[in-house]
Copies of this chain bind each other. A is one copy, B any other.
């Protein structure tokens, strides 16, 4: 997830680590800080794999910055990861949002639509939060406000996404 986000942001413009940290933290829709101990090793991994170059520059305000630029291999790798997204990238909320954020770089509308369709079929699998044996329980079935909230939030999200998916797929398939 982090690696995808790094590749995605650098696809748009060179950035240094600290700025990447800020952008990745905002990616989920609210601030969810990512640990230094997560970011810098990830950068190193991508660098060792030849996906990005590092250029040291004097810092504007403090310590020297390492400006990171995607190599051609890095650009290809981003596109490959978007095209061939893993199942977890489709089903996990955080990962999916990351894919979505950079899907515009996959210039072929057919390829974009293919990814969206995978998400759609994932969302269309009928499912419920809680079961009593085999029978799924609706919000009505339990009196506590917390599980009712869970269902209410999940439904709002799901409706918004399904609506958007339908519209967008129709647009891409023209």
- On A, residues with C-beta under 8 Å from B are 22-23, 26-32, 91-94, 97, 100-104, 112, 122-123, 125, 127-131, 144-147, 149-150, 152-161, 164-165, 168, 171-172
**Contact in complex: B127, A30 (CB < 8 Å):** yes
Q: Are B153 and A161 in contact (CB under 8 A)?
A: yes
A125:B30 contact, CB within 8 angstroms: yes
Q: Tell me whether A149 and B93 are in contact in the complex, defined as CB-CB below 8 angstroms, given that A127-B26, A156-B156 are known contacts.
A: no
Known: A29-B158, A101-B129. 4 other contacts (CB 8 A): A29-B150, A30-B127, A149-B165, A153-B161
Tell me what chain A mostly uses at the interface: helix, strand, loop, or mixed.
Answer: helix
Closest to A88 in B: B32
Q: How far is the CA of A101 from the CA of B122 in the complex (A)?
A: 22
Residues of B within 8 A of A94 (CB): 92-94
**Contacts known (A30-B122, A122-B30, A131-B26); A97 close to B150, Cβ less than 8 A:** yes
**Residues of B with C-beta under 8 A to A160:** 152-153, 155-157
Residues of chain B lying within 8 A (CB to CB) of residue A123? 30
